[in-house]
Amino acid sequence: MGPEMLTSVEHLVPELALLAGSVVILVFALFAPRRWQSGAASIALGVLVGAGLLTVAMLGQPPTLTFFGTYAIDTPALLAKLLILGITAVTVVFSREWFRTDARHGEYYTLLLLSALGAILLAGAADLMELILAAVLSSATGFVLAAYHRQSKASGEAAIKYYLLGALANGAMLYGVAFLFGLAASTSFPALRVGLAAGGAGWVLGIAVALVMLGLAFKMAAVPVHAWMPDVAEGAPAPVAAFLTAAAKVGALVALARFMWILPEAGIAWRPLVAVLAAATMTLGNLAALWQDDVRRMLGWSAVSQTGYGLMALVALGRSELALPALLFFLVAYAVGNMAAFGVVVVLRGLSDRAAYRGLARTRPLLTAALVVSFLSFIGIPPLAGFTAKLALFGAAIDAGYAWLAVLAVANTVVSVAYYARVMGPAFFAPPGERPAILGPWAAVGTGVCAVGVVVIGLAAEPFLRWFQAAVLAS
Amino acid sequence: MLTVTIFVPLLGALIVSLLPNHRERLIRRFALGTALVPLAALVLAWQRFEGTGGFEQVEAVPWIPTLGVGYVVGLDGISLPLAAMTALIFLAALLYPVDLRGRPREYFALFLFLETASLGVFLALDLFLFYVFWDLTLVGMYFLIGGWGHGEAARRSALKFFLYTLAASLAMLLAILGLYLSSDPHTFAMAEIIRQQPLPAAGWLSTLVFIGFALAFLVKAPLVPFHTWLPPAHVDAPAPVSAVLAGVLLKMGIYGFIRILLAMMPKTFERFALPLAILAVVSIVYGALVALAQGNLKRRIAYTSVNHMGYAMLGVAAAGAVLVGHEGARALALTGATVEMVAHGLITGALFLISGSVWTRSETYEIGQFGGLVARAPALTLATAVAAFASLGLPGLAGFVAEFQIFVGTFGVYPWLAAIGLLGILITAALFLQMLQQMFLGSLPERWQAWPELRPAEIAALGGLLVFVVLIGVIPAWLLDVIDSSARALVGP
């Protein structure tokens, strides 16, 4: 072990903590009696908090590539790490009560931590091999998590669709990586940046980039590999749906930004490519969401459209100073808003029929408030977090010369009001029905914290934006 | 002080939302008490007003300095009367009895929330903050129309209102970003942007930014052909909400033209002044004609709003018609437009409250169903007569002061348009006189023999609004001097 190895290990302490934690939970789940199985949740929560604190301790570091230039330590990676850890922690809080009746669920938390680790590695990967590793780790665990309700057909169906699409996308990415290796004789990002720029334009580069993008598009549920998102949102256990719609997206958006950053603009027109991807994703997600009578499915499609908004920031990367701050702030706003919205579903024991939300404001006023706040934030109503995110995204797109994309995003935002209002309106206006049962106090607290977070982060955007303003992608 | 004005209602809304729903009297009284605070604070602000022509009583705190966003509130001669009118209308609307559907807590909390947002729009001096308040008015209004409006149709109208005005306000958001990105250093502060005048007169960016703003304001005002959301929203909303919608929210459109386009892009405004003036005249005539054809009381009043906002728009367009020259006429037109906003707010607020009184007694808005009500309800008749005569521009009442100044000012700039616009006044006179005659004179139908007179709360609310309609009509100087100080500054030296 050389000295560089040792400093590199220091950089990976949060990731190693997650790995160790998942092993500990696995052993615990093997030997603990059934009535102790939910103890695994407490261990997982402890590990996540610990990893979070270790990450916070690394915040002041200058941006650098570590582990022999394969792993980035920079603001986007650290933020993604914190967000994914936070998302996972909230998921654990939801899951503890959700899986209460499942006699054998200790190892669920192992899978959850490993899936989080995969998403985190995705955000930091500065080497194509590592990118593949991260994508596969995050996907493979995700398939099992989606199928965790072993008796449920919907859960199984979601997992199968997720798996088939994932196998295709991950395989495509592997092909793309092989092409890129052939072009630049390296898999590390700094070497690729030099090698690809020297190679000039060519159809091989175009295909290679498209294939890698396909793999990442799958992780973030962008067109054309988005179809798993609504199925998972509907069929997977509700806490898993909350996790899978958020964690992988955070990791993949940062990963795609990092990947785009090494491409030679002269060799490949990646900017228009991402712009088209963004446009198609937000439009398709919104239009599909319009017809949903299943609230969870609607949230899944809405998550697809949110991916489209997030991609706007990547289009502006390197052209507008607002691009990275917009991306990072969007990730924060989306993660918190998504956990609040799915949290309401979790607290309502996975209630999915739109009609069952009628009159909810009178039977469950606080939950309705959380739902309304998260929806308004998705729409982009100020002063909620989602508004500042959209403002920055629109600003970045206009600044980068993509005003048409901003106009399209505005049109999409107007359309999106219709489907959010289809849930929000009856919940507030309709006469109350039967008071729906709730899952438990902890899930409710978790949801409440996220809903308050949506408001607070919107009002106190300054510290975040000041932090993100100085962000760079390590290279 | 202005911060207190804006946020006391929000604080009240939070407290109200914690009170139990069965304590209706307590909630109502608390909400009314809360709504008195901004009115009192604005009376104080009026006394401290100096009339320098610039922004006064400014309170500024950095909010998101990284993006150039500040929390800046303040006022000038344009916003002070509008804010004061807002506080008065909200007080009257809160006082007005309405069917609360067993949910007083939600109703009053949303109403107070809407008051914060509305006052914020008029007092914000930062484009970001302005947009925040602007959008929040949509949210509050959406839930109020949908929750307490007339049946299932109200929910559709609420959604239509939300979609229309949100689409418009997002166009404004893009325009704000355009203005922001062309300022250097990037800022949302209104005073700084007015100083920088970042956009040239012509060019695609200036044109797009102008159209973005104009679209948002034209929908909000609303002017023909952007008015289609207005009649259903009004007809289906409960009366106090209609009063606020017409009295306060519509003003934000015209106010935006003055505060943002006239002040920040006067050179581009000059290029668009004539089309805007033509649109205004079309709204005047079309709004009046369509109003005349309505048999539904609320629809009729709603369309007179389109007509009246046309007058206000005509005044603003005349004020921005040229950069140099005609200063006296243009300042007069701008002052008239602002008085029109205040007058229309008070008058139409009162008219919509009256329509609410009619509805609670008869459950119909059809003008043809009534007759001879003066025999049973002299106070209702008097209030309606005052409001209707003021609305048609009878001298001695507020509407006349406004329209006189607008037309005198516009004659100096666009004589032909002013002449056509005068037609609108004739038609409005006809439609209001016909309405008064139909509803209050003639023989009293059998079914209204037991028509109850206005209750004290209704008299207090209507009286509070109409006193000012008379006051502005008889001694307008106290209002005109305040507005004039800023109108002169806005049209140039």
Look at B64 and A388 and tell me if their CB atoms are within 8 Å.
Answer: yes
pLDDT, tens digit (0-9, with 9 covering 90-100), for A173-221: 999 999 999 998 899 999 999 988 887 668 889 999 999 999 999 999 9
For an interface test with B, the pick among A391, A404, A415, A422 (most B C-beta atoms closer than 10 Å) comes out as A391
Query: Can you give the three-state secondary structure of B17-42, one letter per residue?
Result: CCCCCCCHHHHHHHHHHHHHHHHHHH
DSSP helix/strand/coil, A56: helix
- CA dist A242 and A91 (Å) reads 7
Residues in B touching A383 (Cβ below 8 Å):
132
Q: Other CB atoms closer than 10 Å to residue B261's CB: what's the count?
A: 22
Amino acid B263 reads: A
Distance spanning both ends of chain A, measured CA to CA: 24
**pLDDT computed for residue A3 by the predictor:** 66
Residues counted in chain B:
493
- CA dist B231 and B252 (Å) reads 18
pLDDT, tens digit (0-9, with 9 covering 90-100), for B157-186: 999 999 999 999 999 999 999 999 999 889
Q: Is the CB of A337 inside 8 Å of chain B's CB atoms?
A: no
Burial class (CB in 10 A: 0-12, 13-18, 19+), B6: buried
**pLDDT computed for residue A201 by the predictor:** 67
From B162, which residue of chain A is nearest by alpha-carbon distance?
A417
Q: Which of B142, B130, B46, B125 is nearest to B88 (CA)?
A: B46
Burial class (CB in 10 A: 0-12, 13-18, 19+), B19: middle
**What would you report as the CA-atom Rg of chain A, rounded to the nearest whole angstrom?**
21
Residues counted in chain A:
475
- CA dist B439 and B135 (Å) reads 38
Number of A/B CB contacts below 8 angstroms equals 81
Residue numbers in chain A where pLDDT is lower than 70: 1-4, 200-201
Is B353:B283 a contact under the CB 8 Å cutoff?
no
Q: Extract long-range pairs of A98-103: CB within 8 Å, 24+ residues apart.
A: A98/A237, A98/A238, A98/A239, A98/A346, A98/A439, A98/A443, A99/A38, A99/A237, A100/A38, A100/A440, A103/A34, A103/A37
- Can you name the residues that pair with B61 across neighbouring β-strands? B71
Closest to B146 (Cβ–Cβ): which among A362, A425, A465? A425
Q: Which residues contact B414 (CB under 8 A, 6 or more apart)?
A: B274, B277, B314, B317, B318, B321
**pLDDT computed for residue B493 by the predictor:** 61
Residue numbers in chain B where pLDDT is lower than 70: 493
**pLDDT computed for residue B440 by the predictor:** 92
Rounding to the nearest 10 degrees, give the CA dihedral for residues B435, B336, B463, B123: 130
Residue A161 C-alpha from the chain's centroid: 19
Provide the greatest CA pair distance for chain A: 70
Kind of pairing between the strands at B56-64 and A71-73: unpaired
Q: Is the CB of A421 inside 8 Å of chain B's CB atoms?
A: yes
As a 3-state breakdown, chain B gives helix, strand, coil percent values, each rounded to 5, of 75, 5, 20
Kindly report the nearest CA distance between residue B83 and chain A, in angstroms: 21
CA B264, A320, A334: angle at the middle one, nearest 5? 95
**pLDDT computed for residue A433 by the predictor:** 85
Closest to A417 (Cβ–Cβ): which among B155, B166, B173? B166
Is A212:A258 a contact under the CB 8 Å cutoff?
no
Burial class (CB in 10 A: 0-12, 13-18, 19+), B493: exposed
Q: Is the CB of B180 inside 8 Å of chain A's CB atoms?
A: yes
Residues in A touching B107 (Cβ below 8 Å):
none
pTM of the model: 0.94
